[in-house]
Structure 1
């Protein structure tokens, strides 16, 4: 009994480093402006594609996204290699490739182009221990990442500033996220807070309580329109300092 309880309290591996901040950011509602249509298509068990059309106050935008996952499976349940790419109507491309060198070591390469110009690139190698993940990145160093089964705390420090997030899952319905970001380039510091409420019986996901130190308040509601393969997302944000209201909705077909 004692060994079983100790094993239950033991810290688990937090996963890849880029997913740590993502867990916190997923709690916050995404800003929506205009109308966005997303059509997802599963072509096979390994290949998935998506068409994205965004109509807003700016020029209409179209992008195509493709994702491939291989047959090599890790202990976390992820499959490798992973190839992801997204290209828009102007020819700008975001792409990355993730491969598993061993059960504990993974390598990732990512790059971005702006139309025909090569803009950014990044290489990193991750080592997945029993209760930690270490990442070596050609670019911004990772100072600290750690996780328990119900919370994730992360910190990035580099020449551009510092970025810290804290994610906590209170129960199956409520998740909370807190973010802090300081930039040495803009000399600005922002703090943000948000929470997410899942309502399984209503097929709804409500992200509310988003508030940052710039007095921007926002909320979003996602509703799956079963039995139709449609998901509707409604969102609104108010910038009190600029006296600006932004709202929109997204329809996802999958």
Structure 2
């Protein structure tokens, strides 16, 4: 696949400087979105493995018939519920999931906006392999990109989480940069994830996740950007315990050893908690430098709303968001909207154009303080 434009070394250098700057802030607290308008391509929704087998034919979010897989967060302590995530009463203690999924219900309601035009063409080759192309043309030459993606899904399924495995997702762009994610259950209760990005012939953001799912608890170990020769990297250990049918408590420990950290090394301990009752859920994470609180509530099977509060003492910043999600499977329609304390309003509307296998996306984002507006149109074929 030929390049649509030449490689620009200065863009790679700027991106590397930005990554080094954000490493320090991400360690000491929550990565805030107060800088600019938040129109960063790195903020797009990441690839997440959230699949569960469905024994009977159902309608997905856009009204398309599905009979094999349906998305939902893993580690639920209750019986399976709708895709929107409605919380049914917990019948017994179960695995609480991982700390990384603590705020998943709240984050899934946030609209992931984009600007310009985006076209995605996907095709399934057999039962396990899917390939596709994505073309994104923004209002700046730097945002123009063309990607080829490929995913493989195995025929085995975890009895604990309902995830199919092994699973491999990879992408390559016109510059030759490659990103890949691998997930596999090495044992019935042991899950391993490996992700890496090759940027300008150098490996960046390499991470290894090891999860253990107990009867009513979970443990996670993460190794990020480990460099044995220079003795640098990030180590994360987390533990989440289901205390009662509604309450889960845990702890998250981060140890970082890099040159950008004052003193060369630092450690951070955070306390996490989650409480759910009927159709409501509260979750929080507290450390000496940062605070994140989330509240999610569902109204029936088609409407949900969430509130998020983030505070970073180190950067002296705080932000609050109100988001909602409405979807009508029979009409093939989905809408996500949100507003925050910066005066930024964002929304993403998705509509399946039956009987064609096309999903139309409309994205908008406006900052009332700076009077900036971005609009995007997307088409997904397949």
Q: Per the shorter chain, which TM-score range?
A: 0.7 to 0.9
**Per-residue CA distance 1:29-79 (angstroms, 9 max, x = gap):** 121211100111111221112211001112221111211122321013211
Query: Which of 174, 180, 183 pairs up with 1:89?
Result: 174
The 1:151–1:234 alpha-carbon spacing in structure 2 relative to 1, beyond 3 Å, is: same
State whether structure 2 residue 196 is matched by structure 1 residue 68.
no
- Paired residue secondary structure (1:39): strand
What is the alpha-carbon distance in structure 1 between the residues aligned to residue 177 and residue 286 of structure 2? 29
Task: After TM superposition, give the deviation of residue 177 of structure 1 in Å.
Answer: 2.8
State whether structure 2 residue 336 is matched by structure 1 residue 207.
yes
Question: Larger deviation: 69-78 or 159-168?
Answer: 159-168
RMSD: 2.7
State whether structure 2 residue 273 is matched by structure 1 residue 191.
no
The 1:186–1:51 alpha-carbon spacing in structure 2 relative to 1, beyond 3 Å, is: farther
Task: After TM superposition, give the deviation of residue 189 of structure 1 in Å.
Answer: 2.8
User: Number of residue pairs matched?
Assistant: 247
Question: Larger deviation: 94-103 or 222-231?
Answer: 94-103
Task: After TM superposition, give the deviation of residue 8 of structure 1 in Å.
Answer: 4.9
Task: After TM superposition, give the deviation of residue 122 of structure 1 in Å.
Answer: 1.2
- Paired residue secondary structure (2:187): coil
Query: Where does residue 209 of structure 2 map in the other structure?
Result: 124
Query: Where does residue 133 of structure 1 map in the other structure?
Result: 218
Contact 2:274 2:284 in 1 (8 A): no
What is the alpha-carbon distance in structure 2 between the residues aligned to residue 186 and residue 228 of structure 1? 49
Question: Larger deviation: 80-89 or 142-151?
Answer: 142-151
Contact 1:155 1:162 in 2 (8 A): yes
Query: Where does residue 260 of structure 2 map in the other structure?
Result: none
The 1:120–1:187 alpha-carbon spacing in structure 2 relative to 1, beyond 3 Å, is: farther
Rg comparison, structure with higher value: 2
Query: Where does residue 306 of structure 2 map in the other structure?
Result: 177
The 1:64–1:105 alpha-carbon spacing in structure 2 relative to 1, beyond 3 Å, is: same
Query: Which of 223, 228, 239 pairs up with 2:367?
Result: 239
Structure 2 unmatched runs, 5+? 1-88, 224-234, 239-250, 252-271
What is the alpha-carbon distance in structure 2 between the residues aligned to residue 152 and residue 128 of structure 1? 22
What is the alpha-carbon distance in structure 2 between the residues aligned to residue 213 and residue 141 of structure 1? 32
Query: Where does residue 111 of structure 2 map in the other structure?
Result: 29
What is the alpha-carbon distance in structure 2 between the residues aligned to residue 160 and residue 146 of structure 1? 20
Contact 2:305 2:323 in 1 (8 A): yes
Contact 2:219 2:237 in 1 (8 A): no
Question: Larger deviation: 33-42 or 69-78?
Answer: 69-78
Structure 1 unmatched runs, 5+? 1-6
The 1:151–1:9 alpha-carbon spacing in structure 2 relative to 1, beyond 3 Å, is: same
Specify which structure has the higher proportion of strand. Answer: 1
Task: After TM superposition, give the deviation of residue 224 of structure 1 in Å.
Answer: 0.5
The 1:84–1:182 alpha-carbon spacing in structure 2 relative to 1, beyond 3 Å, is: farther
- Paired residue secondary structure (1:201): helix
Task: After TM superposition, give the deviation of residue 92 of structure 1 in Å.
Answer: 1.8
Question: Larger deviation: 128-137 or 27-36?
Answer: 128-137
Task: After TM superposition, give the deviation of residue 133 of structure 1 in Å.
Answer: 3.0
How high is the TM-score relative to the length of structure 1?
0.84
Query: Where does residue 122 of structure 2 map in the other structure?
Result: 40
